[in-house]
Amino acid sequence: MSHFSHLIGQSAELQQVLNTARIISNTDVTVLVEGTTGTGKELLTQALHNASPRSEKAYIAVNCAALPDALAESQLFGHKKGAFTGAESDHNGFVQQAEGGTLFLDEVGELSLAVQAKLLRFIEYGECQRLGDSLPKKSNVRIIAATNRDLLKQVASGEFREDLYYRLKVIPLTLPALHQRLEDIPVLAKHFLSSLAQKHGLPEPSISKAALKRMKSYNWPGNIRELRNLCESLLVLLQGNGIEETNLPPHITSYMPKSSGFKLPSAGIKLDELEVDLLNQALQATSGNKSRAAKMLGITRDVFLYRLKKYSIS
């Protein structure tokens, strides 16, 4: 079984990310995983570690948002006894605990500028200096970071170091939001209902086409996590009875997608030609900058590159 098999879906948006992840999994390259909350960033990071030569070593996941500002440096890089009030013994930080393995820094944008500076030095030189130590020591750790923030905006506002941003983003992996891969909802719902039925010892319910259609018309602000929670709720409440559209909660059944403002001409259109035209317009408007062009079209850079390749646009 593939290490990435837990990331379920066949949409082009997801598969582009997974293809890149498979290519880089056997390297030590630094990775920045981007995506909104609930898209599966930690699941992807764990898969990258499990598929790497470091898989037999430690995988340490750190929620940077939960690190107290006063203790963040100590918790990440460790301290010597007596380094500060309350430091009653030597302490190995998360970096030392991940020796030989992978350190996953979730919500990396929450780190203070002072800790960012020390993290940058560690990434560049592999040196880790505990608080109270006179000299740094070498550490062999792969860094994978994740964020649901726009780090470039934080760079512009002075909240995040520009040099660290580009050092982390050697390989960017942007997980699509669920509303960008709606075709994956049936297989995701089936997977969650099956696995959760086993967990709770309940019969696996069927789900009607009408219910799935309604679910595919919803925008899923909570992404895959929200879908999983819905499946668990329906499974427990319905006790094995089939899931119909009427069983879905009101915020889903009453959801009305915003109109795009585009009206299909009565004569119809050629969708491929329209897509090619929009791709070229986006490239022209951004002077060939593919990341900005992708943003203009509301898709990820990986999907944008996939579309360019599909239509042989250089």
**pLDDT, tens digit (0-9, with 9 covering 90-100), for 134-174:** 777 889 999 999 999 999 999 999 999 999 999 999 999 99
The whole-chain average pLDDT of the chain stands at 90
Tokens at 239, concatenated: 């006790």
**Topology adopted by domain 179-253:** Helicase, Ruva Protein; domain 3 (1.10.8)
By the 10 Å C-beta count (0-12 exposed, 13-18 middle, 19+ buried), 157 is classed as exposed
Across the strands, what pairs with 104?
Answer: 61, 144
Whole-angstrom Cα distance, residue 141 to residue 201?
41
Q: Which residue has the tokens 């992978």?
A: 102
Whole-angstrom Cα distance, residue 71 to residue 92?
13
Q: What is the mean pLDDT of residues 25-41?
A: 94
Alpha-carbon dihedral 231, 232, 234, 239, rounded to 10 degrees = 130
**pLDDT, tens digit (0-9, with 9 covering 90-100), for 48-72:** 999 999 999 999 999 999 998 878 8
Region of poorest pLDDT, from 72-76, 82-86, 220-224, 301-305: 82-86
Hey, is 31 helix, strand or coil? strand
Residue among 13, 45, 81 at smallest CA distance from 300: 13
Tokens at 97, concatenated: 């605990």
Q: What is the mean pLDDT of residues 3-30?
A: 93
CATH superfamily of 12-176: P-loop containing nucleotide triphosphate hydrolases (3.40.50.300)
Highest mean pLDDT: which range of 233-247, 249-263, 272-286: 233-247
Q: Are 295 and 305 a contacting pair, CB within 8 Å?
A: no
Residue 188 carries which side chain, given as an amino acid letter?
Answer: L
Class of domain 271-310: mainly alpha
**pLDDT, tens digit (0-9, with 9 covering 90-100), for 113-125:** 999 999 999 999 9
Tokens at 120, concatenated: 């940058």
Sign of CA dihedral 8, 12, 14, 16: positive
Residue among 8, 11, 20 at smallest CA distance from 48: 20
Centre a 10 Å sphere on the Cβ of residue 193 and count the other Cβ atoms it contains: 21
Predicted TM-score (pTM) of the model is: 0.78
What is the DSSP code (8-state) at residue 258?
Answer: P
Domain ranges of the chain: 12-176, 179-253, 271-310
pLDDT of residue 90: 73
Q: What is the mean pLDDT of residues 123-129?
A: 88
Distances (CA, A) of 103 to 2, 175, 193: 22, 19, 32
